[in-house]
Amino acid sequence: MTIVLQINHQTITTADLLPLLIRYRMLPGLLRELILDRAIADIKYSDTELTQWQQRSEFQASNICEQDRIRSLKIHLFKQQQWGNQLETYFVERQRSLMQVVYSLIRTPDRDIAYELYFRLQANEQSFANLAAQYSQGPEAETGGLVGPVELGTYHPDFAQLLANCPLGVVSPPLQLDDRFVVLRVEARIPAQLDATVQQRLLDEQLEHWLSEQMQSIELLPSHRNAI
């Protein structure tokens, strides 16, 4: 056994490394990086691509070494090569969940209060903002009930469907969600656009999906399979 680390009086050998990686839950991260290194090993790049990549703001810090910059460029090129021509199709699949909504919300554990507030709003007796500030039992009380913009995909599917389908500007009758009754009005929906930021996000998602599949296919000894 080869000694790889000496920490004060503690000696770490090669035989100790795998158990330590498992104990401290570092093995999945290591495997992920090893899979990436294997995937990008044959990725080629030009001097121009490297120069342009190094001019990105996140690489202006002096503590980022050349090897890390090159590796990040190769990962970027790998993502483009693997999934760049599939982005539009994937975007269509994700477009609904990427849509952002702005809505007004009042939530209360009391069903009768929820209906009372709903009828007040229907009769235009008070503004949604005033009623939310007075009655809503959640952080939205601090903003007059206003929430968002928030992506639909961050919510439970049932609530996301409600936000996607409610007519704009119309107060919905009280709906029970868990132990609360909510009065809701959707103010705006902001469709997702396949801009540069969203493209990069979708490429990152595809990479993570691929990495998960690759990690599931890794063969470990039976005693170590639960480590990933």
127-164 pLDDT, tens digit each: 999 999 999 999 999 999 999 999 999 999 999 999 99
In the prediction, which pLDDT does 216 show? 86
Do 215 and 228 contact (CB within 8 A), yes or no? yes
Q: If pLDDT is split at 50, 70 and 90, which confidence band does 193 have?
A: very high
- Burial class, 170, CB count within 10 angstroms (exposed 0-12 / middle 13-18 / buried 19+): exposed
Q: What is the distance between the alpha carbons of residues 169 and 104, in angstroms, rounded to a whole number?
A: 9
Residues forming beta bridges with residue 6, ordered by sequence position = 11
Q: What is the distance between the alpha carbons of residues 8 and 145, in angstroms, rounded to a whole number?
A: 57
| Domain limits, CATH 3.10.50.40, in the chain | 99-190
Q: What is the distance between the alpha carbons of residues 92 and 95, in angstroms, rounded to a whole number?
A: 5
Q: What is the distance between the alpha carbons of residues 67 and 104, in angstroms, rounded to a whole number?
A: 49
Q: What is the mean pLDDT of residues 193-215?
A: 96
Q: If pLDDT is split at 50, 70 and 90, which confidence band does 56 have?
A: confident
Closest CA to 183 of 66, 105, 131: 105
Asked whether the bond before 28 is cis by omega within 30 degrees of 0, the reply is: no
Percent of the chain with pLDDT over 90: 71
Asked if residue 221 has pLDDT above 70, the reply is: no
Least confident of 54-63, 144-153, 178-187: 54-63
Do 131 and 106 contact (CB within 8 A), yes or no? yes
Q: Over the chain, what is the mean pLDDT?
A: 90
Q: What is the distance between the alpha carbons of residues 6 and 4, in angstroms, rounded to a whole number?
A: 7
**pTM of this prediction?**
0.81
Pick the CATH number of 99-190 from 3.40.50.2000, 3.10.50.40, 3.30.460.10, 3.40.50.1000: 3.10.50.40
How many residues are listed for the chain in this entry?
Answer: 228
Provide the token pair at 220.
Answer: 């470990």
Asked if residue 182 has pLDDT above 90, the reply is: yes
**How many CA atoms within 13 Å lie on the side-chain side of 23?**
5
Asked if residue 94 has pLDDT above 80, the reply is: yes
In the prediction, which pLDDT does 217 show? 83
Asked if residue 54 has pLDDT above 90, the reply is: no
Q: What is the distance between the alpha carbons of residues 128 and 84, in angstroms, rounded to a whole number?
A: 45
The beta-strand segments (E) located in the chain are: 3-7, 10-13, 100-108, 146-151, 171-177, 180-190
Coil vs helix vs strand at 160: helix
In the prediction, which pLDDT does 228 show? 53
Q: What is the mean pLDDT of residues 7-35?
A: 86
In the prediction, which pLDDT does 207 show? 98
